[in-house]
Homo-oligomer: A and B are copies of this chain.
Amino acid sequence: MQTALDDTLAALADPTRRAILARLAAGEARVTELAQPFDMSLNSVSKHIRMLERASLVTRRVAGRDHFLSFNPAPLDAAQAWITEQQALWAWRLRRLDDVLNTGDAP
């Protein structure tokens, strides 16, 4: 199955998409504006945006022929939570290991 977290992390795994998100964190923009910095067809950028939408990292507001994209940071929370949890698990294990070595207790 494809979970929301899967989609979020997959969306973040591409540098073009991260750059788009970083731009959008500063405020909404149209597709053409987002595409401008990249040496890539407008169509390709459009596809990247679609993947960001699939991950709910970006929302679209259509106004006439212009599509305004906005950043939605909500999905980042789950990604950050997962990472933080692994780091915590690891830190806990190291601490426990240290205790064992210092006190000589059984593991």
Contacts and interface: CB of A to CB of B under 8 A. Distances in A.
A3 B86 CA distance: 22
Nearest to A1: B15
A87 B82 contact: no
Identical copies of this chain, number: 2
A6 B10 contact: no
28 contacts: A1-B15, A3-B15, A5-B18, A6-B13, A6-B15, A9-B9, A9-B10, A9-B12, A9-B13, A10-B10, A10-B13, A12-B79, A12-B83, A13-B13, A25-B89, A25-B93, A26-B89, A71-B86, A71-B90, A73-B86, A73-B87, A76-B83, A76-B86, A76-B87, A79-B79, A79-B83, A80-B87, A83-B83
